[in-house]
């Protein structure tokens, strides 16, 4: 007899329906599985056969043929086991065939019949809902993740025996229950009040957080670059509901949700080592997994020792930073992952690290300094909105007893500025919710300059030879500075400060300024 169940295959974050067709008949024992399945899917026949025996179904004298349709879609992962077992049971008249109608079945089986967790439950359920399916059965371990999807009757199974009883109508599987949203924003250990000195860098952090601007911190060892970068999450507002859903879906595909597997309002913070490969940074591989730039979506991607990263990896960042997405093309499919993090980088001013620290420790020649800076290509630097030079922290600042401004105080201003930007987006004035992501067509509407500001920016373009991209970056930062002040128009002071926050557009001369 022939029976069909519905499962799903992920290509990036896009879910594609898969019909699991099973034909079962008595005859020479055999188990065929076709449909462009990779190794983990083909091995499901071993797991399914053993799990079926645990519920009293022996297929040792049956000829089983499983077809995963469409045949031209590559099937990967471990989520087809439960659907194959369910369709096999229906084909053997062990459960009613109509019990599988309009039902999405996801899950991996152990040899004992236990249903194990799988990756990507959330995007697969969202895709099934878009395709019109109303019912689904998923592993119980994925319950909290599955409960995030509204408009579907999602049930959870802990074993194949539970599924069999439910399909026969002998019991009801429990409905997926939502877990309270976790938000630890108020419990963060890293706070800006712990930073001593560095007023210009603190200001740059606030501007970057308020407008979603990429930031590069340049300074000698011990100046506080890493300390500052790790405190950026404390001044970023919690994720909006739709942002949290996107972040959770990406982390679900990557298998990073952990034991709780629920929605979180915390913005991700990713800090890969400088030896990371291009695939690790932007994504890829045989199964097209998300890279660090996508795992940091709506959060912070911190690249410490920026100049030590492989040049190919940094160049691969250019397109995601510009477009906000990563597209991975393969022979059988094309996967797209969102990638709009707040990029924060830190680097030394020279090879030895001590250029401009107020001492004579730096022995780098001008040519060596230029060679060190040349590790970063112009197009990569051009995509970073803010470049800030940090001097060494003075003893007076370190021994001072007056703490700096706390993250909570800065967060109030950041949230107010972001609310202004969000209001413009909701009103349809712009195409993005943050100034850092504004399209070029938006700039004429929200970054109009007065005559003095336009003259100031024009002189900077001529003197510093700013590119068209750098010009638009200055306008976006100036718009954020005005939003932080609560002023609707951009003044000359905003333009001047925005130009001053791009030090790599002019010769690098770190100084020991006041701390």
Q: Which of 167, 197, 217 is the last residue of a domain?
A: 167
Domain assignment present for 286: yes
Domain assignment present for 175: no
Q: Which of 10-24, 323-337, 499-513 has the highest mean pLDDT?
A: 10-24
Check residue 404 and give its pLDDT.
Answer: 78
Judgement on whether residues 265 and 232 belong to the same structural domain of the protein? yes
Judgement on whether residues 139 and 191 belong to the same structural domain of the protein? no
* Mean model confidence pLDDT for the chain: 90
**5 Ramachandran zone, left/alpha/beta (phi>0; psi -120 to 50):** beta
Check residue 48 and give its pLDDT.
Answer: 95
Domain assignment present for 512: no
> Model pTM?
0.90
Q: What is the mean pLDDT of residues 178-185?
A: 60
Check residue 77 and give its pLDDT.
Answer: 86
Judgement on whether residues 277 and 374 belong to the same structural domain of the protein? yes
Judgement on whether residues 146 and 191 belong to the same structural domain of the protein? no
CA dihedral 172, 173, 178, 179 (to 10 degrees): 120
The more confidently predicted of residues 36 and 512 is: 36
Task: Answer yes or no: is pLDDT of 196 > 90.
Answer: no
Check residue 181 and give its pLDDT.
Answer: 56
Judgement on whether residues 123 and 198 belong to the same structural domain of the protein? no
Judgement on whether residues 390 and 417 belong to the same structural domain of the protein? yes
Radius of gyration of the chain (CA): 28
Domain total of the chain = 2
Judgement on whether residues 233 and 92 belong to the same structural domain of the protein? no
Check residue 380 and give its pLDDT.
Answer: 92
For 449-481, write each residue's pLDDT tens digit.
Answer: 999 999 999 999 998 888 899 999 999 999 999
Domain assignment present for 173: no
Judgement on whether residues 368 and 471 belong to the same structural domain of the protein? yes
Q: Which domain holds residue 342?
A: 185-395+406-505
**pLDDT-based confidence at residue 513 (cuts at 50, 70, 90):** very low
Check residue 515 and give its pLDDT.
Answer: 40
Task: Answer yes or no: is pLDDT of 162 > 90.
Answer: yes
Q: Which of 167, 195, 227 is the last residue of a domain?
A: 167
Task: Answer yes or no: is pLDDT of 511 > 50.
Answer: no
The more confidently predicted of residues 68 and 361 is: 68
In this predicted structure, which of 70-79, 188-197, 375-384 has the lowest mean pLDDT?
188-197
Judgement on whether residues 462 and 347 belong to the same structural domain of the protein? yes
Judgement on whether residues 106 and 201 belong to the same structural domain of the protein? no
Task: Answer yes or no: is pLDDT of 400 > 60.
Answer: yes
The order of strands in the sheet holding 300-303 is 269-270, 300-303, 342-347, 215-218, 386-389
Q: In what helix (H) or strand (E) does residue 26 lie, and over which residues does it extend?
A: strand 14-26
Residue 365 belongs to domain with CATH number: 3.40.50.300
Judgement on whether residues 199 and 120 belong to the same structural domain of the protein? no
Q: How many angstroms separate the CA atoms of 420 and 198, rounded? A: 28
Domain assignment present for 513: no
Residue 156 belongs to domain with CATH number: 3.30.230.10
For 119-161, write each residue's pLDDT tens digit.
Answer: 999 999 999 999 999 999 999 999 989 999 999 999 999 999 9
Judged by DSSP in three states, 211 sits in helix
Residue 90 contacts by C-beta under 8 Å, 6 or more apart in sequence?
Answer: 1, 3, 5, 22, 96, 97, 99, 100, 167
For 219-243, write each residue's pLDDT tens digit.
Answer: 998 888 999 999 999 999 999 989 9
For 257-288, write each residue's pLDDT tens digit.
Answer: 865 567 777 899 999 999 999 999 999 887 78
Task: Answer yes or no: is pLDDT of 33 > 60.
Answer: yes
Domain assignment present for 384: yes
Q: How many angstroms separate the CA atoms of 466 and 499, rounded? A: 10
Judgement on whether residues 127 and 193 belong to the same structural domain of the protein? no
Check residue 359 and give its pLDDT.
Answer: 81
Please identify which residue in the block is written with the tokens 């599988």.
100
């Amino acid at each position: 007899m022939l029976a069909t169940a519905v499962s799903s295959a992920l290509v990036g974050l896009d879910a594609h329906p898969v019909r699991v067709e099973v034909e079962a008949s008595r005859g020479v024992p055999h188990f065929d599985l076709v449909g462009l399945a990779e190794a983990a899917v083909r091995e499901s026949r071993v797991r399914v056969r053993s799990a079926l025996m645990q519920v009293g179904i022996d297929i040792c004298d049956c000829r089983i043929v499983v077809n995963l349709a469409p045949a031209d879609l590559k099937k990967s992962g471990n989520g087809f086991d439960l659907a194959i077992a369910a369709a096999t049971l229906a084909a053997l008249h062990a459960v009613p065939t109509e019990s599988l109608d309009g039902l999405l079945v996801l899950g991996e089986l152990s040899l004992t019949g236990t249903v194990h967790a799988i990756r990507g439950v959330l995007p697969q359920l969202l895709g099934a809902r878009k395709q019109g399916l109303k019912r689904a059965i998923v592993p119980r371990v994925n319950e909290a993740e599955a409960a995030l999807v509204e408009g579907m009757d999602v049930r959870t199974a802990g074993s194949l025996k539970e599924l069999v009883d439910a399909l026969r109508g002998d019991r009801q599987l429990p409905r997926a229950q939502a877990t309270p949203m976790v938000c630890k924003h108020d419990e963060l250990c890293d706070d800006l009040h712990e930073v001593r000195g560095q007023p210009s860098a603190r200001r740059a952090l606030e501007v970057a957080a308020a407008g979603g601007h990429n930031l590069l911190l340049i300074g000698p060892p011990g100046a506080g670059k890493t300390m500052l970068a790790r405190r950026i999450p404390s001044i970023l507002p919690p994720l909006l509901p739709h942002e949290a859903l996107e972040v959770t879906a990406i982390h679900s595909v990557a298998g990073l949700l952990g034991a709780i597997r629920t929605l979180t309002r915390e913005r991700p913070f990713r800090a890969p080592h400088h030896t990371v490969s291009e695939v690790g940074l932007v994504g890829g591989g045989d199964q097209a997994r998300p890279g660090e730039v996508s795992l940091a979506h709506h959060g912070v991607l911190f690249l410490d020792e920026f100049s030590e990263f492989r040049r190919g990896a940094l160049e691969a960042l250019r397109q995601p930073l510009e477009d906000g997405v990563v597209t991975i093309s393969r022979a059988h499919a094309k996967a797209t992952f969102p990638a709009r993090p707040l990029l924060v980088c830190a680097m030394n001013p020279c090879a030895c690290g001590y250029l401009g620290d107020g001492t004579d420790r730096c022995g780098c020649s001008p040519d060596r300094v230029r060679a060190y800076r040349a590790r970063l290509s112009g197009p990569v630097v051009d995509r970073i909105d803010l470049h800030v030079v940090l001097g060494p922290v003075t003893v007076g600042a370190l021994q001072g007893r007056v703490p700096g401004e706390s993250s909570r105080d800065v967060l109030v201003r950041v949230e107010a500025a972001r609310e202004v930007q969000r209001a413009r987006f909701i009103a349809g004035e712009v195409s993005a919710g943050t100034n850092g992501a504004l399209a070029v067509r938006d700039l004429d509407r929200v970054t109009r300059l007065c005559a003095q500001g336009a003259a100031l920016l024009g002189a900077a373009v001529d003197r510093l030879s700013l590119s068209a991209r750098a010009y638009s970056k200055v306008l976006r930062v100036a718009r954020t500075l005005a939003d932080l002040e609560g002023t609707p128009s951009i003044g000359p002071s905003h333009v001047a400060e925005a130009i001053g926050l791009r030090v790599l557009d002019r010769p690098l001369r770190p100084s020991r300024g006041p701390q």
